[in-house]
Chain A
C-alpha cells in the first residue's frame, strides 16, 4: 500500500476557498510510506477516545437525546453531503428517504399498530427497509438527475412534500395522520438497544460506519468519477462515463445511508408520523448540512451537533431573554441566515479559512508551518 494519491484526486482538487470537497480527509500528503493507522492524525485519535468514553462522564439525557440525535441527523445530513459535495446535486429528498426507511421498519416489523405491521423478524425487516428506501431514493434520483442546480432543489422539494401529503392521507399502508408508535429496536444479544448507553454506542457505531463508507466510496473509482461528473459532466461523458448512471447510483448510495439514519430515528422516538418528513424537517437537514459545511463528510456531524445543541438548549436561552421558548425556530433560521451570509461553506469553511490565515501569518515570526 503506497501513499500515492488515486489518479486525478489531488490534481483535481480546486484551490483553497472553492466550495469543493477534496475527498481527502485525514491523510497527510507527502509523507513517507506509513501504515494506514499511523497516518490518522492525532486529533482523530483524541476524538475517538472522547466519543468512546463519553458514557463514563455524560448522563443519560446527553447520551440519548443530544448525542444519539446528533449522530442520527448527522447520518441523514451526511447522505445529503455526499450528493451535494461529491455529486453536485443538492437534494431535499434525503429526509423523506430516511422517513421511508423508518416507515418500512414500522410496517414490516412489529409496531403498536398491529392491523398493518407485518411483524417480520429483524434480520428480514431491517435489510428490506433499507432496500426499499434505497429503491425509493433511486426512483427519485432517476427523476431528479434529469435536471440541474436549482431545478434539482425544486423537484426534490416537490417530491418531498408529495411524500409528506401522501403519508398523511394514506391510511392503508402509512396509517395516515397518526403513523406508527411503539417501534422499538430488536432485543439483540440480550441488550435493550433503547437504553441510553446501548443506543449511544449503536448510533455511534453506525455513524462511524456510514462516515467510513462515504470516505471510502469517495476514493473508489466510482466516487472519483462522480466528482469528475460534478466538475465537468460533458468531459466525463466524452471520456465514456455514463453520467446519468453515476448520478443515479449516488442517489442509491446516499439513500441507503439516509435509511439507516431514518431507522435509528424511529427507534429513538419509538414512533413515526408524517411530520417526521414534513417540510420543516426537510429544510432542517439542508440547514444542518450547509451550516456544517458541504466540503467534507465531517461537516454533516458538526452541523448536526450545532443544530441539536441549539434545539435542546435554545428554550433556556430564550427564557433567559424573556421570550417564549417556542421561538427556537426563529433562532435556528436566523443562525442559518447568518452562516449562509458570512460563510457559505459553513463551519468547515470558517475553520479552513482560520487555518489558512494562521499559515499565512506565521512566516512573519520566522516559523515554518506548511
Chain B
C-alpha cells in the first residue's frame, strides 16, 4: 500500500478522491438539486448496496478460482458448475433437514471432496499441459451441466432462509425524508448484510492464512516458483490438493449463498463462471486482494449499471475488463 502511494502519487490521489466522493454521496443527505440530477437517493443507495453484496458473492466464487489458478496454473472452467452443484445440494439439505446453517459444512465437504477427486484423478495426470486441462474442465462443465439439468430440471429454485435472517434491517445511513419530513434511514435485507459480513470475514481469514501461516507460506512459495518449492522437499501435491479442495468447497458455499438471495437455475453456472473470469482478469490472476477489488468493481458496475442504464449493464462490466486489459494486461493487482 505504502509502496503504491510512493510510486504512483497521482493515481493514489485519484483513487482517494473517487472513494471520498462515493463515501460522501452515501453518507450525506442529498439536496433537492442533486435528487433532481441523479434521481432519488434511496435508489442510488440500493444500487450501491446491492452492488457491494453482489461483489461479496462474486468474491466468494472467484477467490477459490483465483487461488487454484495462481498455484496450479489451471483454469478450472468447471468452477461455475461447482457453484451451481453446491447450490442445488444446499437446497436439498435445507429442504430435508430445515437447517440453513447445516447446509454449509455439508456442501463444503461434498464439493471439496469432488474437487480433491478432480485434482487427484484428472489434473494430476496432465500436469503442465494447461490447454488440455482447460479443455478437460470445459468437457466436465458440459457433462455436469447436463447431469444437473437431468436431476433438478429446468425450473429455478430458491433456498429458504431461516427466520433470523429474513426481513430488513435499518442501517444508520440517511436515505431521504419520509412524508412527514422526518429523516428516513435506509432499510436493507438482513441476509445481504450477513453475506457481506461473511465475505469480509472469509476474505480476511484467507488473507491471514496466506500471509501468516505455514500453509499460506507454502502456497505463496508455490505461486512464485513451483519447481524450487518441490526441490526443497515439500510434497507439493498435498498443497495442490488442499488448495483445490478449498477452492472447490468455497464455490459450493457460494452456491448456497447465491441460491439464498438470488435463485438457482440452469445457466447460472456459466453466469458465475463468466463473473469469476472477469473478476480474476480485472483483479489479477492468483491474487486474493485483487479478487476482492475486482469483485467489488464488477458487482458495483453491474448493479449501478442495472439501475441507471438497464440495457447496457453487461457492457459496463465488459468495458471495465477491456480497459483493464488495454492498460494493465496482468490485472489491477497482478504481477
Contact = CB atoms under 8 A, between A and B. Distances in A.
A216 interface: no
Interface stretch (B3-11, B126-134, B179-187, B247-255): B126-134
Interface stretch (B17-25, B135-143, B161-169, B214-222): B135-143
A286 B138 contact: yes
Given A333-B143, A340-B136, A162 B314 contact: yes
Interface in B247-293: 270, 274, 277-278, 280-281, 285
Contacts, number: 105
B27 interface: no
A283 B77 CA distance: 11
A155 B325 contact: yes
Interface stretch (A38-46, A126-134, A143-151, A234-242): A143-151
A257 B142 CA distance: 26
A147 B280 CA distance: 14
A289 to B, nearest CB: 10
A337 B140 contact: yes
Contacts of B135: 286, 290, 336, 340
A336 B277 contact: no
B136 A279 contact: no
A286 B149 CA distance: 22
Contact of B136 (A90, A283, A341): A341
Contacts of B325: 143, 146-147, 155
Given A162-B317, A332-B142, A340-B135, A150 B130 contact: yes
Interface residue SS majority, chain B: helix
B131 A143 contact: no
A162 B146 contact: no
A366 B138 CA distance: 46
B238 interface: no
A149 B318 CA distance: 21
A165 interface: yes
A143 B326 contact: yes
Interface of A: 90, 143, 146-147, 149-151, 153-155, 157-159, 161-162, 165-166, 169-171, 279-280, 283, 286-287, 290, 324, 326-327, 329-330, 332-334, 336-337, 340-341, 344
6 contacts: A146-B325, A153-B134, A158-B277, A279-B274, A336-B139, A340-B136
Interface of B: 73, 75, 77, 129-132, 134-136, 138-143, 145-147, 149-150, 270, 274, 277-278, 280-281, 285, 310-315, 317-318, 321-322, 325-326, 329
